[in-house]
């Protein structure tokens, strides 16, 4: 026990030190965990508790799949459903097919090529959502599509795990497949029956956070044990357990409580994978790892760009969405681990795919972070992926020859109130926003609008064609505000430009770039409260009157979705 405690302590100390370094260079922490495993093997002297570490790692995978099921947001697929399905399935098929022959060409066996090519086809939903959130692009069109086809990938890999486990149990004859589907249906039936039981005890369970946590954990383990009894993997049971709780009102509470537990065990999973990165593996597998990493970094984005080009998307959206598949997933590593456990492939292959993971995750993090800048450099060469009739053109409602006095960039919290005032004043204006849901809502109301991101030069040129006298930007990204101000001040210094800054320093910087006025939201809010206090400190009746007015205003606001 003492030995295990020392091993765990050493692992987490090494992992935390490496994590601090990787956070500093803005890299996903998964890289730190993988390297921690490699470092730990070199530092530790003695017999490693391999079986215990593997068991703890398996619990981490189960919790990961439990949370994937719990957060399975089918609404995202509904918004960009056909694009996500077509791109997600198409990318997995083409990556697997091309990758299979590439791996065979590198001298690997047929079964090994099958596993590796599948591992190259899946991308990390967790890492991509984190990077898109950091860029504030989760609500952008390409962000919605990316999350959509990543969910499709997750569903495919879950089905693959079921298939591989069934394959290992014997031949996949018609009778065997029928038995598998029958067991799967029975597992779902058990899950649904217990799901209805949960609903009956919602009041009792929901009142105690400790009880809620305990019941959720018990449910995950219970279905995982049932799944294993039905000859499925425990991960499948955990995934189904998550799905059955996804519609319950306290799913966010469950997710927030399970995440730290998942992270604890999942760190050990990646550390165990990192232990496969021995010097021998690096020497033997470095060349194949570099070749296959280049295929993932270049080939996967190209496949997505071609597929989205076929559907009629602009090269910019296709390119940025393509960058999100330029790395392999944690599920890729789980898939290879399963292959090693079942004896289908050797442990050296796990080392190879782990090395590919290190290279592609590190490189793609920078590619996604600086995606707009990379696109600007490559834009002239990427037009080949565009069709004549673009999907984005459908997300537009304005007269091409018409002039608009005011262009409102960003229809969200601040933008909504500004638009409301412009409509009351009956001014000629057009709204520009990068969220397709917002644009569709505006189109329904017959409000002139244009889908686009102001970091895109083509969108700025379209705005320039409106010949505006004033541009009001309510978007909160400082770089985009600077880009907007610089572009239009060079075009016509007479145009009045309102920008938005999150801080005083950003506001002063925008003024230096030539902005006529800069909105600082939190300062405006403070000024409004201070102004309100002047009139209400002496009279509670006035404050009560303001309260009633505010409630009426809030309840009658017709805000866009997710504002």
* pLDDT tens figures, 402-441: 788 899 988 876 777 788 788 888 888 889 888 777 888 8
Residue 314: pLDDT above 70?
yes
Q: What was the pLDDT predicted at 342?
A: 83
Lowest mean pLDDT, pick from 135-144, 254-263, 449-458: 135-144
Mean pLDDT of 508-515: 88
Helices (H), 209-250: 209-229, 234-245
More confident: 123 or 452: 123
Whether 219 and 265 have beta carbons less than 8 Å apart is answered as: no
DSSP assignment of 308-342: HHHTT--HHHHHHHHHTTSS--HHHHHHHHHHHHT
Give the pLDDT band of residue 105 (cuts 50, 70, 90). very high
Report phi then psi at 451, rounded to 5: -80, 135
Instruction: Establish whether domains 2-41+50-169+176-200+212-384 and 395-556 are of one fold.
Output: no
Q: Please, what sign has the CA dihedral across residues 465, 471, 475, 481? A: positive
pLDDT tens by residue, 23-67: 888 777 777 887 888 787 767 655 556 677 778 877 887 887 788
With a CB cutoff of 8 Å and minimum separation 6, the contacts of 492 are none
Lowest mean pLDDT, pick from 12-21, 120-129, 267-276, 364-373: 267-276
Residue 559: pLDDT above 60?
no
CATH architecture of 2-41+50-169+176-200+212-384: Up-down Bundle (1.20)
More confident: 191 or 73: 191
Q: What was the pLDDT predicted at 198?
A: 66
Element (H, E) at 496: strand 496-500
pLDDT tens by residue, 524-544: 666 666 666 665 555 666 666
Give the pLDDT band of residue 298 (cuts 50, 70, 90). very high
- Cα separation, 326 vs 329, in Å, equals 10
Residue 562: pLDDT above 50?
no
Mean pLDDT of 284-292: 89
- Strand pairing class (406-409; 470-473): parallel
Average pLDDT, the chain: 79
Q: What was the pLDDT predicted at 304?
A: 93
pLDDT tens by residue, 476-505: 878 888 888 888 888 777 888 888 888 888
Q: What was the pLDDT predicted at 101?
A: 95
Give the pLDDT band of residue 557 (cuts 50, 70, 90). low
Domain spans in the chain, listed from the N-terminal domain onward:
2-41+50-169+176-200+212-384, 395-556
- Cα separation, 88 vs 82, in Å, equals 10
Residue 79: pLDDT above 70?
no
Q: What was the pLDDT predicted at 171?
A: 46
For residues 536, 542, 548 and 551, what is the CA-based torsion angle, rounded to 10 degrees? Answer: -20
Residue 291: pLDDT above 90?
yes
What share of the chain has pLDDT > 90, as a percent? 11
* CATH fold group of domain 395-556: Rossmann fold (3.40.50)
């Amino acid at each position: 026990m003492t030995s295990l405690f020392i091993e765990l302590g050493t692992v987490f100390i090494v992992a935390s030190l490496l994590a601090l370094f990787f956070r500093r260079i803005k890299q996903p922490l998964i890289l730190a965990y993988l390297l921690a495993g490699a470092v730990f093997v070199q530092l530790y002297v003695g017999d490693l508790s391999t079986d215990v570490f593997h068991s703890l790692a398996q619990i981490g995978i189960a919790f990961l799949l439990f949370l994937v099921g719990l957060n399975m947001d089918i609404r995202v697929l509904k918004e960009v459903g056909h694009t996500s399905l077509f791109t997600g399935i198409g990318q997995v098929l083409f990556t697997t097919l091309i990758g299979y022959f590439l791996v065979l060409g590198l001298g690997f066996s047929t079964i090994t090529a099958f596993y590796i090519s599948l591992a190259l086809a899946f991308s990390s939903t967790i890492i991509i959502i984190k990077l898109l959130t950091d860029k504030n692009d989760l609500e952008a069109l390409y962000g919605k599509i990316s999350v959509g086809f990543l969910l499709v990938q997750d569903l495919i890999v879950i089905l693959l795990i079921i298939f591989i486990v069934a394959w290992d149990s014997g031949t996949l004859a018609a009778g065997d497949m029928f038995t598998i589907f029958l067991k799967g249906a029975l597992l779902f039936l058990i899950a649904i029956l217990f799901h209805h039981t949960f609903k009956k005890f919602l009041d009792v369970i929901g009142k105690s956070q400790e009880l809620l946590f305990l019941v959720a954990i018990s449910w995950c383990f219970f279905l995982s044990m049932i799944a294993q009894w039905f000859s499925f993997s425990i991960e499948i049971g955990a995934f189904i357990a998550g799905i059955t709780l996804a519609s319950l009102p306290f799913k966010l509470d469950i997710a927030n409580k399970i995440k730290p537990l998942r992270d604890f065990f999942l760190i050990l999973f990646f550390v165990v994978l990192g232990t496969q990165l021995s010097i021998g593996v690096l020497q033997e597998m470095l060349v194949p790892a570099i070749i296959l990493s280049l295929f993932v970094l270049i080939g996967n984005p190209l496949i997505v760009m071609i597929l989205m080009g076929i559907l009629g998307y602009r090269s910019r959206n296709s390119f940025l969405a393509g960058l999100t598949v330029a790395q392999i997933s944690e599920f890729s590593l789980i898939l290879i681990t399963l292959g090693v456990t079942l004896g289908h492939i050797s442990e050296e292959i796990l080392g190879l795919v782990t090395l590919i993971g290190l290279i592609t995750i590190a490189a793609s993090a920078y590619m996604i972070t600086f995606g707009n800048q990379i696109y600007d450099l490559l834009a002239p060469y990427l037009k080949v992926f565009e069709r004549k009739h673009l999907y984005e053109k459908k997300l537009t409602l304005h007269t091409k020859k018409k002039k608009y006095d005011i262009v409102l960039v960003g229809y969200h919290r601040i933008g909504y109130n500004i638009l409301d005032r412009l409509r009351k004043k009956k001014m000629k204006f057009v709204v520009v926003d990068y969220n397709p849901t917002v644009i569709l809502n505006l189109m329904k109301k017959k409000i002139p609008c244009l889908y686009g991101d102001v970091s895109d030069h083509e969108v700025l040129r379209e705005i320039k064609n409106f010949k505006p006298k004033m541009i009001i930007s309510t978007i909160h990204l400082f770089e985009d505000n600077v880009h907007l101000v610089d572009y239009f001040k060079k075009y016509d210094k007479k145009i009045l430009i309102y920008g938005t800054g999150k801080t005083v320093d950003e506001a002063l910087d925008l003024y230096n770039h030539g902005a006529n006025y800069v909105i600082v939201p939190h300062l405006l809010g403070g000024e409004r409260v201070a102004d309100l206090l002047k009139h209400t400190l002496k009279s509670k009746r006035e404050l009560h009157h303001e309260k009633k007015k505010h409630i009426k205003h809030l309840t009658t606001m017709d805000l866009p979705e997710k504002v």
